[in-house]
Structure 1
Amino acid sequence: MLRITADVFSGRPDPVADLTDEARARAALRELTRDRELFTVPAEAPTGGLGLRGFWLEAFDDELARDFGLGSRLYLPAGAQAPAGRTAEVAERLITLAPWRAAPEEGFAGQTPPVEESFRDFLLGQLAGGGQVSAADRAEPAGGTAAEQPEITCQIEFGAFNPGFWNDDANVRAHNNCYNYASNWRTNTFAQPGRGCGHMYSRITCEEMTRASLCDGMHHRFDCFPDTAKPRYLTALVVIPGGGDFHWYRKQKEGFWGHKPGSTPARNVDNSGHVIYDPEKADRGPYTIFCGYFYGCDSQRRRIR
């Protein structure tokens, strides 16, 4: 079997497409590996960003891997990080080879919502746009933001930016996502809002993601936690229109915001490489809907799964 994984999401596990018929898998690999120079080994995979980053190719038996020189797996950079040449053509072929589905999650089978039928079109759109989103799209009005109440002041804490905690160990980097980062809690489960409280989100909208996050113990901004809930972090939630994925940010002691796009390294810059001082105005790639600000707390982060 040949598995293709789209390196594209931040909150949800990346979707997969499986070629289970060996003849089809071999035919696809013969076509794809004619352009071997387009692929990289895992250690050279891009450091990420929000939106389409690339595709993993992984064989599930050693004979298939040996015959096509796959090693453990190969990576095709795509979107804004792709080199010039035939990369887009090869990536488009990968997108259309097999149906996409939610990746299996160890210990949480069946809990992640299915991949939408429009996911293939979303990938093709990201590919055509080089992974970029126009300024007009980024200016989409916020959805689901709680009414601001500036007369209320809540005491919160700001942790120092420490990306090495998330990035230096490959296992930690691969199995913790933006929700882990926003909660400042490593679970190695690619934590999902609402899973810890037993009522995970059923679709990805501001309203449903907010419900699931509040169920885990988050609060809307200006709904203060007591001192006994320390540490209390300021976070922000965004989603992709149409229910594709979600993404979280956390404000740091230095005044900027940090985040961790999926299994890629934690950082404090947006898709344009600018330090994030305002997540509402940052280049968030396809995550154009701003859902609002929230507080996390110690009991909430200990609950996430």
Structure 2
Amino acid sequence: MLRITADVYSGRPNPVADITDTAQARTALRELTRDRTLFTDPRSAEPPAGPLGLRGFWLETFDDELAHDFDVDSRLYLPAGPQAPAGRGAEVAERLATVADWGQGPATHAGPALPLDASFRQFLLEQLASGARTSLKDRVAPAGGGQQEEPAVTCTIEVGAFNPGFWNNDPTTLYNNNCYNYASNWRTNTFAQPGRGCGNMYTQITCDEVARAALCDGMHHRFDCFPDSEAPRPLVALVVIPGGGDYHWYRKQKEGFWGHKPGGTAARNYDNSGNVIYDPETADRGPYTIFCGYFYGCLSQRQRIN
């Protein structure tokens, strides 16, 4: 069997497609490994980077004969988008996007298996065509869970120093914690999902529904203050991809900028254009063009997430 995982999401588990027919798996591997320089070494100590949106594809073989016959590691990574090497990289990535049956939904982590349809394949192809970037003119105004930002009250928050090494330096922490973990400043190693800790997860990816799930975990909308007993109370921001693809969270840092961690990739403080994030509303967020609003985390919420 050959498993293809699209490294594309930040909050939800990445979509997975399995090629179970041995002949088809061999045909795909034969074509994909014609140029081995396109693949990165999965054993590299360097944490995976890449933008919000499509970063690449993981390929995994599940029997040693298949790996032996094609002289490949059991796990390979093909970068896609701006970080992809020149040459056939875009062609191979497009082949992966089209050959896989993405209809089965994600098969990793314990997140909700929200359905994937033909629009997901089209989303991948659009990401490849655009270089996984979205211009500022394509930003969408706050919708759904967004709220007015004129303060009715002044709330006390706590902002921690930016410490990406905590999230990046250990492989288990890196791969098993996502943007919701980072926003909550709480490592669970479960790829935490809004609402799972309180027993009432989101049922679709919209501002209203993801915000509802996070509020169920214990977050508050901005300007709905927490008492001092709930410190630390970070200021966080939520964005989503139009059409229900995925969500992403940011957290404000002591240095004045915002940090974030796209899925199982490295925590960072810069956006898709490489600029330090001082305003998540105007940052280059790739396909996460809907800005949902600001929220506070709290002690109870971060200890509840799962």
TM band (smaller chain): over 0.9
Residue 46 of structure 1 and its aligned partner are, at CA, apart by: 4.4
Residues 83 and 105 of structure 1, relative CA distance in 2, 3 Å threshold: closer
Q: Secondary structure at the match of 1:118?
A: helix
Identity %: 72
Post-superposition CA distance 1:29-70 (Å, at most 9, x none): 111111212111112674122011101111011111111122
Are residues 1:104 and 2:111 paired? no
CA distance in 2, matches of 1:150, 1:28: 56
Equivalence for 2:233: 232
CA distance in 1, matches of 2:117, 2:266: 26
1:61-80 matches, within 5 Å, as: 61-80=63-82
CA distance in 2, matches of 1:165, 1:114: 33
Residue 150 of structure 1 and its aligned partner are, at CA, apart by: 1.9
- Checking the alignment, whether the CA contact within 8 Å between 1:216 and 1:303 is kept in structure 2 is yes
Q: Secondary structure at the match of 2:24?
A: helix
Deviates more, 1:263-272 or 1:27-36: 27-36
What TM-score comes out, normalization by structure 1 length? 0.96
- Checking the alignment, whether the CA contact within 8 Å between 1:160 and 1:252 is kept in structure 2 is yes
- Checking the alignment, whether the CA contact within 8 Å between 2:10 and 2:52 is kept in structure 1 is yes
Equivalence for 1:26: 26
Which residue identity does 1:115 align to in structure 2? L
Which residue identity does 1:104 align to in structure 2? A
CA distance in 1, matches of 2:87, 2:108: 35
1:73-222 matches, within 5 Å, as: 73-100=75-102, 101-106=104-109, 108=110, 111-138=112-139, 140-143=140-143, 144-222=145-223
Q: Secondary structure at the match of 1:34?
A: coil
- Where in structure 1 do 4 or more consecutive aligned residues deviate above 3 Å? none
What TM-score comes out, normalization by structure 2 length? 0.96
Are residues 1:17 and 2:17 paired? yes
CA distance in 2, matches of 1:270, 1:3: 30
Post-superposition CA distance 1:129-180 (Å, at most 9, x none): 1111122113x21213112232410011011111000000011000000000
CA distance in 2, matches of 1:99, 1:156: 45
Residue 87 of structure 1 and its aligned partner are, at CA, apart by: 1.0
Across the two proteins, how many residue pairs are aligned to each other? 302
Gap runs ≥5 in structure 1: none
Q: Secondary structure at the match of 1:193?
A: coil
Post-superposition CA distance 1:71-98 (Å, at most 9, x none): 1211111111112211111111111112
- Checking the alignment, whether the CA contact within 8 Å between 2:152 and 2:223 is kept in structure 1 is no
Q: Secondary structure at the match of 2:251?
A: strand
CA distance in 2, matches of 1:81, 1:105: 25
Q: Secondary structure at the match of 2:126?
A: helix
Equivalence for 1:242: 243
CA distance in 2, matches of 1:73, 1:215: 37
